A and B are shown apart, each in its own frame.
Chain A
Amino acid sequence: MNATPDTPVSEQKGAQVATEIDRLRVVGKPLDGHLPDVHPRDAWTDRKLHYNLVNPNNRRKFKVIVVGTGLSGAGAAAALGELGYDVDVFSFHDVPRRAHSIAAQGGINSPRARKVDNDSIDRFVKDTVKGGDYRGREEDAYRLGEEGIRVINHMQAIGAAFAREYGGQLATRSFGGVQVSRTYYTRGQTGQQLELAAAHALSRQVAAGTCKLHSRQEMLDLIVKDGRAQGIVVRDLVTGKVRAQTAHAVILCTGGYGNIYYKATLAKNSNATAIWRAYKRGAYFANPCFVQIHPTALPLMSKWQSKKTLMSESLRNDGRIWAPRKKQDDRDPNTIPEEERFYFLEERYPAFGNLVPRDVASRNIRERIDAGYGVGPLHNAVYLDFRTGIERLGVKLIRERYSNLFNMYEELTGEDPYKTPMRIAPSVHFTMGGLWTDYDQMTSIPGLFIGGEAGWAYHGANRLGANSLLSGCVDGWFTLPYAVPNYLAGLLGQAALDPGDQAVRDTVKYVQDGIDHLLSIDGTYGPDHFHEQLGAILDRYASVSRDPEGLATAIGEIRKLREEFWRDVKVVGEGDRLNQELETAGRVADYLELGELLCIDALDRDESAGAHFRTDHEIDGEAKRDDEDWCFCSAWEYPGDPSARPIRNFEPLTFRAVPLQQRNYK
């Protein structure tokens, strides 16, 4: 495990680390986020006013590619299709509705401020910026809040049935990190209803002919010519055919990279390939080390368990988290007397108790497990106990509040949580890092735009629950449709890149060669084997807490593993047909590079911030930010070779509306 929080780090060690990091990366240049020169509050209004427009008659002359059909991808494609652009949409799924946005359960924030609980856009921004531990842009948060107001209207109009009060008004509830009630929801399936509505709106455009849907196709490279993104290369997952599609602009809405940890709450197919290959073509990768570890997932129960399942954070409202005071205590939890239970969150954080933010809860749970107090057959969990809640509120009320979650738990574990405490453990959930974008959601490659979790915007070093569904919807429906046309307007009169162009042929060949190479290695172990080992390294050294020595070790181990992969991976089957091993192999190859960058970023970021908790930067077990030296976004630039030192550029962050202050939950 990592060093315990009280391990002293000598100055000598610090100096060693400084030398170490200089061997691993190069410091680059400050970046311009292209922010409007006005108060953050007025930024979006100002920017919209200065955006160039495309005449409705000219819009069909512009081809736009959207990759991904989650909330942001389906939204962006449908919105641009509605406006009249010629849109090609790519998804590796059979149909758009499968995108993983569908699994986000909790709710969607919207600062509509319809109640008298004192909500406002300014308060939304404050919560978002603080929730992100001051490592995101204020201007982005304002844009999110402003457009976020009308998202609810739109999503309900296209078919999402939101929860309603008895008389018919929209219902809201409160969510973690927020003291007002601004979360709109649909039972425990908000993501599903939003995703279905968005996918159906996209279907409407497909039927209308404005959007062309290419399903079961995976993006494997980005075509860059004259310094602009002008197309993508995809593999047809059924026929194996590799081909190119060109366009005036490319939008990636391909989700987060949390599956790099092997076992995460993400869907099995979620991966980083699209953004990673764009990184290797020149898009900067922002803050890869900011990975959210959610406290209440189900623990691993067997060797063959394929992923982790999330239990909603809302359970912490009425459930009490504890671990036995005795190590390896395998008694039936109901027989463990009160004085032998350690309610560690309540004891350590009396003000917030079980409702401390996600990063704090995860760290404390992990600390108990690593210290040997874990419960369950694999001693890898703690209890989330509803006994007191049931005594206080009665089974009926608990059932009303959480029955769908309790049923899910019982379905998965075969245990009845009304009678036996749930077993929970932290799990990787949401990635706050992603491709760097400027205020116009454009990456460092002109013509390449990002929506949703694939980018770095809004979430900083931490995430505010229920803001991620909002950012997916807002990016897709309401901000990319302004920013992308502004870029396209400058290309009027230019045709999309000729599919026969040398740049297109070269990129297709590069991808095909890569596939052929993977198939030719004929080693000993399948790609999954390497993924599992990479996950174990990251989980050990770059999870809820990190220390410089551990991260340096991880980098070495990942390099060794990557070398082994390219020497000894075995990809059975052929390339010219459906081959899931081949798909996995390509994704794992990318993870083996991204994993190293993630650790370099964590080692480089010599502070603690939100989910990035460095044991050498803490006060009383709390994350200690260093605003003087680290108040910026790290945007990594590919050096042209996986073995060369990546270049860390940086965009300084300034806070005018929400002054910097330390988070403290004690």
Chain B
Amino acid sequence: MRLILEVWRQDGPDAEGSFETHEINDATPEMSLLELLDRLNHQLVEDDQDPVAFESDCREGICGTCGLDVNGVPHGPEDNVPACGQHVRSFSDGQTVRFTPFRAKSFPVVRDLIVDRTGLDRIIQAGGTISVDAGTAPDADTLLVTHDDAERALDFAACIGCGACVSACPNGAAYLYTGAKLSHLALIPHGKEERAKRARSMITQMQHEFGPCSQIGECALACPANIPLVAIAAVNRERLRAGFKKGKPN
């Protein structure tokens, strides 16, 4: 297959960026889009040109390292699939595939297709954790968690932290991400203790770096971990709940 690749090139966060056009003549349907970029880079290195910088690691959809926009869509044309699981078979011979970095004000470009997503981690550092030191946990069987609660917690805990939800959102909001974390921790016993405090600090941090939610729902379509859209409602619910708990420890 022949594909035209338009790739965003940018030297650093403050540099001007522009598109470069390349052609791949031996693409095959079973290649992933990241393997297509590997192929391009091989070609570029052969021609003594700088390969395109892009990120990936596990290439099996779990680490959340890969992330780029393909023809304007986070990760690529198929809904709920990470870039490493998107394939050339989604395109037809001669088609143009345009790679751009995740588009969000809070994700500055590091180089080419790599962006800085540490803003998401700062939301965790603000309080998305549970205060248990090593060696101080009680027997896990003494705290019952029903099968259904554990499964519901897992639906939210599945988030791979790739940031596609932010890129998909016209406002660059991180509600799906933050809501997933809040919901996960609110559903398990130890997480409940710090629920209100956590909601206040995480949401404050989120608002500090990311945009507001207008409940359009693109985030859930882009999410490779299928985080349910109700996660965005959890942000407001947890905030409201934390408001009622003001002055109390939880």
Contact = CB atoms under 8 A, between A and B. Distances in A.
A8 interface: no
A478 B134 contact: yes
10 closest residue pairs by CB, A with B: A168-B144, A157-B137, A204-B129, A267-B57, A161-B153, A164-B150, A526-B45, A153-B137, A207-B125, A79-B134
B117 A268 contact: no
A203 B121 contact: yes
Contacts of A82: 133-134
Interface stretch (B167-175, B185-193, B233-241): B185-193
A296 interface: no
Contacts, number: 213
B30 A98 contact: no
A167 interface: yes
A277 interface: no
A528 B35 CA distance: 14
B64 A304 contact: no
A158 B58 contact: no
B57 A93 contact: yes
A663 interface: no
Interface stretch (B46-54, B69-77, B98-106, B242-250): B46-54
A492 interface: no
Given A161-B150, A306-B32, A526-B45, 6 more contacts: A97-B64, A100-B58, A159-B129, A166-B146, A193-B157, A207-B126
Interface in A410-449: 411-414
B195 interface: no
B190 A159 contact: yes
A523 to B, nearest CB: 11
Given A267-B58, A307-B59, A580-B51, A157 B121 contact: no
Contact of A164 (B127, B147, B161): B147
Given A200-B124, A204-B129, A580-B53, A103 B154 contact: no
Contacts of A489: none
Contact of B65 (A98, A152, A165, A408): A98
Contact of A100 (B57, B116, B128, B147): B57
A292 B139 CA distance: 34
A267 B129 CA distance: 26
Contacts of A75: 134
A304 B31 contact: yes
Nearest to A186: B154
A173 to B, nearest CB: 14
A201 interface: yes
A181 interface: no
A206 B128 CA distance: 12
A161 B184 contact: yes
A154 interface: yes
Contacts of A478: 134-135
A568 to B, nearest CB: 13
A525 to B, nearest CB: 8
Interface residues of A, number: 75
B51 A572 contact: yes
A4 to B, nearest CB: 32
Interface of A: 75, 78-79, 82, 93-98, 100, 102-103, 114, 150, 152-154, 156-159, 161-170, 186-187, 189, 191-193, 196, 200-201, 203-204, 206-207, 215, 238, 267-269, 301-302, 304-307, 309-310, 408, 411-414, 477-478, 481, 526, 528, 570, 572-573, 577-578, 580-581
Nearest to A237: B110
Contacts of A164: 144-147, 149-150
Contacts of A307: 59
A267 B55 CA distance: 12
B85 A412 contact: yes
B35 A305 contact: yes
Nearest to A307: B59
30 contacts: A97-B64, A97-B121, A103-B62, A154-B137, A156-B188, A157-B132, A159-B188, A164-B144, A164-B145, A164-B146, A164-B150, A167-B144, A200-B130, A201-B130, A201-B132, A204-B130, A215-B118, A268-B56, A302-B28, A302-B35, A304-B31, A304-B36, A306-B59, A413-B30, A477-B134, A572-B45, A573-B50, A577-B11, A577-B12, A577-B111
B137 A95 contact: no
Given A268-B57, A307-B59, A581-B51, A206 B31 contact: no
A310 B124 CA distance: 30
Contacts of B125: 203-204, 206-207
Interface residues of B, number: 80
B216 interface: no
B41 to A, nearest CB: 8
A165 B45 CA distance: 54
B141 A170 contact: yes
B39 interface: yes
A343 to B, nearest CB: 28
Contacts of A200: 124, 128-130
B146 A159 contact: no
B134 A481 contact: yes
Contacts of A168: 144-147
A154 B131 CA distance: 11
Contacts of A95: 117-118, 120-121, 161
B63 A203 contact: no
A158 B145 contact: no
Given A94-B116, A168-B147, A578-B53, A154 B65 contact: no
Contacts of A267: 57-59, 63
Contacts of A157: 130, 132, 136-138, 140, 190
B2 interface: no
Contacts of A528: 42, 45
A189 B158 contact: yes
Nearest to A265: B60
Nearest to A82: B133
Contacts of A196: 157
Contacts of B51: 572-573, 580-581
Contacts of B145: 161, 164, 168
B38 interface: yes
Nearest to A96: B121
Contacts of B36: 304
B230 to A, nearest CB: 17
A407 to B, nearest CB: 10
B45 A411 contact: no
Contacts of A97: 64, 121, 161
B114 interface: yes
Contacts of A162: 140, 150
A163 to B, nearest CB: 6
Contacts of B131: 204
A191 B58 CA distance: 13
A587 to B, nearest CB: 14
Interface in B9-35: 11-12, 28-32, 34-35
A201 B129 contact: yes
Contacts of A203: 121, 124-125, 128-129
A529 B238 CA distance: 52
Contact of A268 (B31, B59, B64): B59
